[in-house]
Amino acid sequence: MPRTYLVTGALSGIGAATTALLRRQGHTVLAADLEGGDIAADLSAPEGRAALVARARELSGGRLDAVVACAGVAHFDPVTVRINHFGAVATLEGLRPLLAAGSDPRALVVGSVDAVHPTDPAIVAAADADDETEAVAAARAAVDRGEGHLVYSSSKAAVSRWVRRAAPGDAWAGAGIALNAVAPGVVLTPLTKPLLDDPATLALVERAVPMPLHGHSRPEQLAPLVAWLTSPENALVTGQVVFADGGADAVLRGDRVW
Ligand SMILES: NC(=O)c1ccc[n+]([C@@H]2O[C@H](COP(=O)([O-])OP(=O)(O)OC[C@H]3O[C@@H](n4cnc5c(N)ncnc54)[C@H](O)[C@@H]3O)[C@@H](O)[C@H]2O)c1
C-alpha cells in the first residue's frame, strides 16, 4: 500500500537516500530541508519548526503515515544541539497528531553511534528537561573550554534518551505509533567528507568509530533499515536505538550493555 512519508534533511546524504528508496517503493515523500524540496524550514529555530508542521499539514491534508527526522549537523557549536535534539523532537512531536491520523504510523530519528562517546552531562540534562536555553548555554560553555566535540555526542545521546522515554508512553505506543532511532557509524556524506578528506582527522575518526564489518558505510545502506522500521511490517520494534554501525557499538561498549 502506498504511504505518505515526511523526511527532514531529505536533500542530502542519508535523508536523500531514504527519500529515493521510499519513492522507488511507490510511496509519496514530502521532502523537507533547509532550502528547496517540498518544505523549506530551518529546524534550528522555533519559527522554522512551526513552519514545517503547518506546511506538512497543508500538503498532507492532515495525515502522515511515517516521519523520518534525519536533518542534522556536526558543528562544534550550540546550533548542533538546537537542530539534532530540539529540532528533531519538535519535528516528531509537532507531526505526531498527523501520524495519529495516518495508517500503521511510524516515526524515526537518525541518531548516531557517537551517542556512546563521552558527553557533556549539562547539555544532556538540559535536553532531558526540555530546556533549550540551558542546553545552548551548556553547549556554548563546552565550546568555550575547548570541548566543542561534546556537543554532537550530547545531542545524539539526548535524542536517543528522548526516544526511550517517549516511545512506550500513551502519546506514541498508546496511539499505535512505533518510535525508534537508528544509530549509524561513519557514513560517506557531505557531513563527514571534510573529516575523512583530512588524514589527521581520518585517523581520529577511525579510532573513535571502528567499523569491523565493511568499514565506512554509504547512505544507501542505511535507507532499507529506515524504510523497514517505518513500514507497517514493523509491528513490534519501538523505543529502540538500532545501531547500524558495522560493529562500532559492539567494539566500543562490548558486553557492558547487558
Ligand atoms: N554521516 C555520518 O557519518 C553520520 C553518522 C551518524 C549519524 N548521522 C546523522 O545522520 C543525519 C543525516 O546526516 P548526513 O550524514 O546525511 O548529512 P548531510 O549533511 O548529507 O545531510 C544533512 C541534511 O540536514 C539538513 N539540515 C542541516 N541543518 C538544517 C536545519 N537547520 N534545518 C533543516 N535541515 C537542516 C541539510 O540541509 C542536509 O540536507 C544527521 O542527523 C547526522 O547527525 C550521520
> For the chain (length 258 residues), average pLDDT per consecutive 10?
97 98 98 97 98 98 98 98 99 98 98 98 98 98 98 98 98 98 98 96 96 98 98 98 98 96
Per-residue pLDDT tens digits for 68-92: 999 999 999 999 999 999 999 999 9
Ligand 1 mean position, distance from CA 86 (Å): 14
Per-residue pLDDT tens digits for 153-189: 999 999 999 999 999 999 999 999 999 999 999 999 9
Ligand 1 mean position, distance from CA 258 (Å): 30
Ligand 1 mean position, distance from CA 200 (Å): 23
Amino acid residing at 241: V
CA gap 52, 46 in Å, rounded = 10
Ligand 1 mean position, distance from CA 235 (Å): 27
As given in the structure block, the three cell numbers for residue 215 are 568499514
Q: What pLDDT is stored for residue 67 in this prediction?
A: 99
Q: What pLDDT is stored for residue 47 in this prediction?
A: 98
Q: Domains of the chain (ranges plus CATH)?
A: 4-245 (3.40.50.720)
Choose which residue among 29, 70, 221 to substitute to test ligand 1 binding: the one with the highest number of ligand atoms within 8 A of its C-beta: 70
Q: What pLDDT is stored for residue 225 in this prediction?
A: 99
Q: What pLDDT is stored for residue 242 in this prediction?
A: 98
Task: Name all residues whose Cβ lies below 6 A of ligand 1.
Answer: 8-9, 11-15, 33-34, 42-44, 70-74, 83-84, 110, 112, 184, 186-187, 189-192, 219
CA gap 28, 22 in Å, rounded = 8
Element (H, E) at 94: helix 88-100
Question: Comparing C-alpha atoms, which of 26, 23, 22 is closest to residue 2?
Answer: 26
Q: Please give the number of the atom of ligand 1 that sits closest to the Cα of 48.
A: 32
Q: What pLDDT is stored for residue 57 in this prediction?
A: 98
Choose which residue among 79, 160, 187 to substitute to test ligand 1 binding: the one with the highest number of ligand atoms within 8 A of its C-beta: 187
Choose which residue among 14, 47, 86, 160 to substitute to test ligand 1 binding: the one with the highest number of ligand atoms within 8 A of its C-beta: 14
Q: What percent of the chain has pLDDT over 70?
A: 100
Within 8 A by CB and 6+ apart from 189, the residues are 12, 13, 14, 219
Question: Comparing C-alpha atoms, which of 255, 254, 222, 35 is closest to residue 111?
Answer: 222
Q: What pLDDT is stored for residue 1 in this prediction?
A: 87
Active site residue 5: no
Among candidate residues 152, 162, 172, 243, the one labeled active-site is 152
Cα 100 → chain centroid? 20
φ/ψ of residue 146, rounded to 5: 85, 20
